[in-house]
Amino acid sequence: MMQGQSGLYLVYPKIILFSVKIGFNVRFYSFSISLAIALSGKLCELLTFTLADSPVLKGDRTGHYCGKLKADILGEENLMSWTKVLAVEALSPGTRQVVKVGNRKILVLNHENQLYAVDNTCPHLKLPLKSGKITENGAIVCSFHRSAFDLRTGEVKDWCSWPPGVSKVLSLVSQPKTLPVFPVRVEEGSIWVDVQEE
């Protein structure tokens, strides 16, 4: 009887070691799978954020849905506040219209079949941009003092270069500031603009 019991005592440590090894492996693989899922999730988030913020996808359905997904990931329901502003046929190529969204006047342009939405107020002296010329490199030029802004990014291309001689003094009135630009999308025959209230 004693001999059988001592044999049994020798088996127990092996069973315990085997159980610990299996438990560790299961936990390790479980951790590895969880880590892989978390990393792929972060990669998806990064890709989503990149697509949502891409100026190339402005007005594109992909940019819109990535923006919605970004809002879901960040838990910010009001991250995107899309407003229907015009029917697509109301803005043929080469035309523009000023629309009011909340407290802002937004200039919506169809330049070479690409839609843009920018603040209708020039950051220099707060004069309207509606009659501004569009340059070959895709900038809108204020018709008053010739400040120019990239339609995609709002980046300053030129700051107050008119009238000659006085422009240097006028440029000192206000430091160069980017022009606010807004995401645009087309859905169900309408143009939508995302304008965040200030």
Q: Residue 90 carries which DSSP code?
A: G
Placement of tokens 């440590």 in the chain: 13
- Three-class SS string for 2-23? HHHHHHHHHHHHHHHHHHHHHH
Backbone angles phi and psi of 17, in degrees to 5: -60, -45
Does the pLDDT at position 23 exceed 80? Answer: no
Give the tens place of pLDDT for each residue, 90-140. Answer: 999 999 999 999 889 999 999 999 999 999 999 988 999 999 999 999 999
Distance CA 137, CA 131 (A): 17
Query: pTM here?
Result: 0.57
Q: Is the peptide bond before 163 cis (omega within 30 degrees of 0)?
A: yes
Reported residue count of the chain is: 198
